[in-house]
Amino acid sequence: MKRSRKILLGLVACVVLLGLAATALIATFDWNRAKPWLVATVGHALGRSVAVDGDLRVSWQCNPELGGWRAWIPGPHVSASRVTIGNMDWARAPVFATVDRMEFDFSLLPLLAHTLSVRAVHFVAPDVHFERRADGRNNWTFGTSGSDPSAWKLDLGQVKIDSGQLSMADRMKSLDVRVHLEAMKKSIAFDELVAQQEELSQREVVARVGAGSAKQFDEHARARDRRAQRGHESLQHYAFGFTVDGTFKGNAVKGSGGVGGVFALRNTDQPFPMHADVRIGDTRIAFIGTLTDPADLDALDLRLWLSGGSLAQLYDILQLTLPES
């Protein structure tokens, strides 16, 4: 029994010493020396050129957002400054994305299976350019082609974004827009947003068809809307406001809205809140609601307002075949 106890204590001591050695290595090692290997590995996995022109740092940190006992266990936290991802050679923009800083925590055990498991990645001041050609090729599909695929896989859970810029140039849809994201100073309640949109919609009706037809917005409809609002209030947590401008099929595009701060790619139990009020030519589209699963548009739960010169104009925008009106 004494010998078994000594062996057990020895094993525990070895594990503790290895943990302390790993902690000391991460805390004292100059990780900028590892940048050439890192950018080469990530670049091969993405099939793009990658550059890290700022500092690369790795530290041990606890993540209180994990909850339970996992929140008390420190893990590797990576921070990289001034990151650039290259673009396709046919693309209009010189680079696909630039980021002032990106941060993420990853798990150690999945590395043994050549998997980089990232619970959440945080992008600070990103500037991203999405493009698609008329033949269907796009610049947001990553990965190497040919007989030398990367042995590494990326398992990403959530995406957090600070204020930044996004652009979309889609030649298949004749869409060319620019989106500016800005952190909101305070959240806006769901019922307040719905009330604002109801008031704007009533003004649209009065302006287009006159005050007589506008009386169709009766008290019964308002009461129904108030009941629907109460069921959604707890789901709305907007973190960023956005503005958009550009063109769509020759029509001017201009609008604004808000989105949540965390976009969950794997956990479909976390609805992503969003609202917008956009004008495309003579058509106005406003919506308030959530998207639960980005891979399934059936997971949309929206309140929608539409107005314009004719229902037929919605075909180009929403692919709805409706008659002239």
pLDDT in tens, 145-179: 554 566 777 777 788 888 899 999 999 989 999 99
Across the strands, what pairs with 304? Answer: 287
Could you give the C-alpha distances from 141 to 102, 136, 137, 190, in angstroms and in order? 20, 11, 9, 35
Rounded Cα–Cα distance for residues 282 and 145 (Å): 44
What does the domain layout of the chain look like in residue ranges? 29-172, 183-318
Cα dihedral across residues 317, 281, 261, 50: positive or negative? positive
Rounded Cα–Cα distance for residues 12 and 28 (Å): 24
Other CB atoms within 10 A of residue 294 CB: 13
φ, ψ of residue 40 to 5 degrees: the values are -70, -45
Report yes or no: 52 and 38 within 8 Å, Cβ to Cβ: yes
CA 210 to chain centre: 41
CA 99 to chain centre: 14
Instruction: Output the pLDDT for position 313.
Output: 85
Average pLDDT over residues 75-101: 92
Rounded Cα–Cα distance for residues 44 and 279 (Å): 41
What does the pLDDT look like over 220-275, one tens digit per residue? 455 445 544 444 444 456 788 899 999 999 999 999 998 887 776 666 667 788 88
Mean pLDDT of the chain: 78
Q: Which two tokens stand for residue 15?
A: 């594990």
Could you give the C-alpha distances from 194 to 19, 89, 148, 169, 230, in angstroms and in order? 53, 45, 52, 31, 11
